[in-house]
Amino acid sequence: MGCMSKEHYQLVSNPLDDEEDVWVSHEPGVPESPYECAEVYPEAASSVRQLIKEAKAKILSLMEKRQCYMNAKISSNARWALTAFYVESPINELNERIEWWEKFLYFVRAGKNVGKGADLKVNIEKAKEVPIPHFIKFNGAGFAPCLWHSEKTGSMKYYAKGNRVWCYGACGRGGDVIDVVMQLRGVKFLDAVNFILNK
């Protein structure tokens, strides 16, 4: 059966709708950052590895769904809407979750190597203070080509307050200086921190 046939309702269901949001909490007193969670729940590492594996499998499934929408005999507007809402948005959210979980795992590993991780926390805070323009050239309006997707016109905006970037283009991703260096250099979280501090 094709994508837009009887199975259409299954294909357009958001894969994240019925999931418990385990990657970040907003309850008072509950740790929210990957660093805090790694300090409080280091034993969750094996479960987090499984969550990453499942999220990557979902992304592959969504990419197949994207191809199905591209081949469907529907208007280009409908194709764009279905792809943006039911494929690109969940993929972006899954990628954000994977990033968060991977940071958690790095902190768990680092905590074992750095006692209680106090030195690591200080180094991370120091790294986050290094301005992103040390690594990327932005135009006069504060835009540069996005690091997370290919484009000719820069849609990634730099915000000096908070030292963060955000893409207003196809991917809608963003992050701090550590995320930027991870993407630029293709390195893991702790390697990016070390690179920033030694720059």
Q: What percent of the chain has pLDDT over 70?
A: 79
Same domain for 79 and 123? no
**Tens digits of per-residue pLDDT, 94-103?**
888 888 888 8
Looking at residues 114-133, what average pLDDT do you find?
Answer: 77
pLDDT of residue 33: 74
Same domain for 84 and 141? no
Q: pTM higher than 0.75 for the full model?
A: no
CB 157, CB 172: distance < 8 Å: no
Same domain for 66 and 106? yes
Same domain for 158 and 72? no
Q: What percent of the chain has pLDDT over 90?
A: 23
CB 178, CB 127: distance < 8 Å: yes
Report the CATH number that the domain containing residue 186 is assigned in CATH.
3.90.580.10
CB 109, CB 101: distance < 8 Å: no
Question: What is the C-alpha to C-alpha distance for residues 194 and 44, in angstroms, rounded to an integer?
Answer: 25
Is pLDDT of 113 > 60?
A: no
Last residue of a domain, one of 113, 133, 153: 113
The number of distinct structural domains making up the chain is: 2
Looking at residues 88-97, what average pLDDT do you find?
Answer: 86
Of 26, 48, 54, 55, nearest in space to 109 by CA:
48
pLDDT of residue 118: 58
Domain that holds residue 198: 117-199
Same domain for 161 and 71? no
pLDDT of residue 114: 43
Last residue of a domain, one of 65, 88, 113: 113
Last residue of a domain, one of 51, 79, 113: 113
Same domain for 133 and 78? no
Same domain for 83 and 122? no
pLDDT of residue 199: 61
Q: What are phi and psi of 72, to 5 degrees?
A: -70, 150
Same domain for 108 and 155? no
Same domain for 7 and 71? yes
Mean model confidence pLDDT for the chain: 78
Same domain for 38 and 128? no
Same domain for 107 and 140? no
Q: What are phi and psi of 159, to 5 degrees?
A: -115, 105
- 83 against 15, higher pLDDT: 83
Is pLDDT of 14 > 60?
A: no
Same domain for 45 and 94? yes
